[in-house]
Amino acid sequence: MDGSFRLRAVTLTLFLVFLTLAAIDPKFCYGNSEVHCIQSEQQALLRFKQDLTDPLNRLASWAGDGDCCQWVGVVCNNVTGHVQELHLRSFPPPLIKFFSIDTQYEAAIQSYSQSMFGGLVCG
């Protein structure tokens, strides 16, 4: 029984220490808040952007002089700084059921196709 009590006491103490740290510095739970993106990954993103057509200029924040983890659409690991995800969604295409006239739908489709990301096709 004595060993079980000690284990519970240590567990409770550790829990309270981590709870106190999280209350003092909320960023503690998320790792080092001063982590920036990896330079080689930033350069790779800039090369990717060069080969991409972006008619609406959605990637305007992708510039060589900033932290790529702060760029629109880039998600980095907040401990390692590695790029984890890219969120580069185009808007969904318009649906014909929302248009009463075919010419309106065709204009909407044309506008949609002119706003999409594009780029080089490898193959």
Same domain, 43 and 92: yes
pLDDT of residue 74: 93
Q: Is the pLDDT of residue 21 over 50?
A: yes
Please state, in angstroms and rounded to a whole number, the distance separating the CA atoms of residues 35 and 82: 9
Regarding whether 17 and 45 lie in a shared domain, the answer is no
Average pLDDT, rounded, for the chain: 77
Q: Using CA atoms in the order 90, 95, 96, 99, what is the torsion angle rounded to 10 degrees?
A: -90
Tens-place pLDDT, residues 39-94: 999 999 999 898 888 888 889 999 878 899 999 999 999 889 999 999 987 666 66
The pLDDT value recorded for residue 89 is 76
State the Cα torsion 81-50-71-79 to the nearest 10°: -10
Clarify whether residues 14 and 69 are in a common domain.
no
Please tell me whether residues 25 and 45 are part of one structural domain.
no
Same domain, 54 and 112: yes
* Predicted TM-score (pTM) above 0.75: no
What's residue 84's pLDDT?
95
- Which pLDDT score, from 0 to 100, does residue 32 have? 47
Expressed as residue numbers, the domain containing 60 is 32-123
Domain co-membership, 112 together with 77: yes
pLDDT range class, residue 121, cuts 50, 70, 90: low
- Domain tally, the chain: 2
Q: Return the pLDDT at 8.
A: 72
Cβ(110)–Cβ(116) below 8 Å = no
Average pLDDT over residues 89-105: 74
